[in-house]
A and B are shown apart, each in its own frame.
Chain A
Amino acid sequence: MSLLKKFAMGVSASAMIASGAAAEISDGKVKIGVLTDLSSTYSDLAGNGAVVAAEMAIEDFGGSVAGAPIELVSADHQNKADIAANKARQWGDSEQVDAFAELVTTSVALAVFEIAKQQNKIALVSGAASSPLTGSACIPSGIHWTYNTRALAVGTGAAVVKEGGDTWYFLTADYAFGESLEKDVTAVVEAEGGQVLGSIKHPFPASDFSSFVLQAQASGAKVVGLANAGADTVNAIKAANEFGLVAAGQSIAALLTFITDIHALGLETAQGIMLTTGFYWDLNDETRAWSARFNERTGRMPTMVQAGVYSSITHYLKAIEAAGTDDTDAVVAKMREMPVEDFFAHGGVVRTDGRMVHEMYLARVKSPADSTGPWDYYDIVRTIPGEEAYGPLSESDCPTK
């Protein structure tokens, strides 16, 4: 075997010398693997749109980097950590994939981090939210791009408490992301002088929220915080509506809401929801131009996750171009050195704990009367500076920061 390997390395080495231009690119190509949820709870907010965003990033880059072609592969992880780990391992072992992208669902991101660490590959997380990904669970080559639970807590949590919502009850998705979000929001609520009365965990994914909503109603809290995402959030809000939770005087804080969720709920139901987002298509000319192209291909506007996939892959490719190699350590160093400049973020910084720090936005969902048409859903209430949203590096408990 080792002899075979040596022989193979010899062959590929001579091939590299022959090709010259792509001398520093392993296997003569840069291959990106998008692992996402194509069929389940999070397929709307990430899913096929994330794959399209990755395709756009590669096309806009010209299809090649540092003289080597860029290839894209994608797979459905069904929100299951074991499927994701198997796929990532196979990509890394036998299909020369250099970077894993998207990775929605925290348990998936954690599993792929484990593989990326072993194989020394880059992981560009966009969809997963848990702040421990750049904290206790961080890896040197893992970069968390779009948002995290701390930023959501700082944005939405603080805003809701300031408006008088000082007693909370949580409906929490029973896995790492839900726990992390609940923990981060609890910290913010308590720091602002609010109080958490209790929480209930629901299985992930769930479709029947009636018993959980009843518990929340019985708690007497002013605010019911939804520490879940995607179809779970939509189902919980629908159930809450059916039980007249809002009509009875409680309010809902959907802590992680995507524009696709608002689209699914309709403005009639969703109006007035406060949310924190890393991206909105209607911010400025740049975002509108990119989103229009995205809309042409998919028939919908991008979520922050999908825009983040484009941005993270573009920055990764820029770093390869600048470094002249796809060697993981060199590329990560370049990614940290170069500021993130595109329609998604201006002056974004990749920190040593893997956090990409950029501005976040606090938004309020428009009423049907204010909205001019489909996808015109948000009023941006406030721009949250990156440092405030993500906290200083000194706060991160990442051991390799």
Chain B
Amino acid sequence: MNRYIGYLLVLALLLVAPFLVYPVFLMKLLCFALFACAFNLILGYGGLLSFGHAAFFGGAAFITGHAIKVWGLPTELGLLVGAGSAAVLGLAIGLLAIRRQGIYFAMITLALAQMAYFLFVSADFTGGENGLQGVPRGTALGIFDLQDNINMYYFVLAVFLIGYAIIARTVNSPFGQVLSAIRDNEPRATSLGYDVDRHKLLAFVLSAGLAGLAGATKTVVFQLASLTDVHWHMSGEVVLMTLLGGLGTLAGPAVGAAVIVTLQNYLASGALSAWVPVVLGTIFVICVLAFRRGVVGELRVLLRKTF
């Protein structure tokens, strides 16, 4: 019961937020929150540390940008094309990567993502170092003009909620249970008759597709896609967001993303502007040393102890 009240409160907050805070900032926050939640699906619930999620996030960003700007697709369809192509890329990378575990899995995903990065640097349609600029926002359902920031915000919020719902549903389904079982003890899951590789692959593809959806939405919000989105720094950043927020908790990565994006945004124009990486690094060290479960993980434990 308490849980539903919590959800309703957060939803209400999200609904009024654009009137209190600069909406474009909130949209960026939601895009990264979705990205981190999608990443958490494979790391937190599947136990697989992917170091190549920027390829899905940024790849979808470029493809959506191209689809909307050059092919002239409507915004919703452009997002789906981007998310779909990220899922296909996820299938290709996943097929190779899930054969290994631990550090090898991380290195394979990193290597393949770097190949994708090179592809995007040299491909003509991405504009290379210049990025893809001037992507029109278009309209939602052909009615709402997304050029208006408030309309755009509610559109992004809807995309985020759909993505979050898919993740929540997956985690709480029998599939999600099996995934957790595989994470905790893979040989036992195999001995119980589960096809471990197929479960991992499906989770990986789902995670890639949703990460792609987040990247695609970011392109529409900012009307540009750039190499920053596919760079391996982005893969590292999403790991940071997830760990900071709380690994393997549903809302944790979203909170982590909110903290990181807010810090980046507000520190960038202040006196600490040259020190952003140092500040983030310090926070990460403190997080790893002092509260390993992340913000939400620690809160959950605290609540359980007190009540």
Binding site for B on A (CB under 8 A): 1, 38-39, 75-76, 80-83, 85-87, 89-90, 93-94, 106-107, 110-111, 114, 118, 174-176, 203-204
A87 vs B264: C-alpha distance in the bound complex, in angstroms? 12
Assess the A175–B224 pair: CB atoms within 8 A.
no
Q: Using Cβ atoms and an 8 Å threshold, which residues of chain B touch A176?
A: 129-130
- What are 14 residue pairs bridging A and B, where the CB atoms are less than 8 Å apart in the complex? A1-B150, A76-B273, A82-B224, A82-B229, A89-B24, A89-B222, A93-B24, A93-B149, A111-B133, A114-B223, A174-B129, A175-B129, A175-B130, A176-B130
Assess the B128–A175 pair: CB atoms within 8 A.
yes
The 4 closest A-B pairs by CB, nearest first: A175-B129, A107-B130, A82-B226, A176-B130
Assess the B268–A75 pair: CB atoms within 8 A.
yes
State which of B22, B128, B131 has its C-beta within 8 Å of the C-beta of A93. Answer: B22
Interface size classification for chain B: 20 to 34
- Known contacts A39-B273, A75-B268, A114-B223; is-contact A81 B24 (Cβ 8 Å): no
- Known contacts A82-B224, A85-B224; is-contact A110 B28 (Cβ 8 Å): no
State which of A1, A81, A118 has its C-beta within 8 Å of the C-beta of B224. Answer: A81
State which of B28, B149, B226, B268 has its C-beta within 8 Å of the C-beta of A81. Answer: B226
Assess the B128–A81 pair: CB atoms within 8 A.
no
- Known contacts A82-B226, A82-B228; is-contact A114 B133 (Cβ 8 Å): yes
A107 vs B22: C-alpha distance in the bound complex, in angstroms? 25
B158 touches A (CB below 8 Å): no
Chain B contact residues: over half helix, strand or loop, or mixed? helix
Residue of chain B at shortest CB distance from A1? B150
Assess the A39–B274 pair: CB atoms within 8 A.
yes
Residue of chain B at shortest CB distance from A77? B268
A1 vs B145: C-alpha distance in the bound complex, in angstroms? 14
Q: Using Cβ atoms and an 8 Å threshold, which residues of chain B touch A81?
A: 130-131, 133, 224, 226
Q: Using Cβ atoms and an 8 Å threshold, which residues of chain A touch B274?
A: 38-39, 76
A176 vs B128: C-alpha distance in the bound complex, in angstroms? 9
Assess the B268–A106 pair: CB atoms within 8 A.
no
Assess the A76–B223 pair: CB atoms within 8 A.
no
A86 vs B130: C-alpha distance in the bound complex, in angstroms? 15
Q: Using Cβ atoms and an 8 Å threshold, which residues of chain A touch B224?
A: 81-82, 85, 111, 114
B134 touches A (CB below 8 Å): yes
Interface residues of B in 196-226 (CB under 8 A from A): 222-224, 226
State which of A80, A94, A110, A204 has its C-beta within 8 Å of the C-beta of B133. Answer: A110
A81 vs B219: C-alpha distance in the bound complex, in angstroms? 13
B175 touches A (CB below 8 Å): no
A90 vs B150: C-alpha distance in the bound complex, in angstroms? 14
A106 vs B127: C-alpha distance in the bound complex, in angstroms? 13
Residue of chain A at shortest CB distance from B226? A82
Q: Mark B111-129, 1 if CB is under 8 A from A, else 0.
A: 0000000000100000011
Scoring A38, A82, A93, A114 by chain B CB atoms within 10 A of each residue's CB, the highest score goes to A82
- Known contacts A107-B131, A175-B129, A176-B130; is-contact A85 B223 (Cβ 8 Å): yes
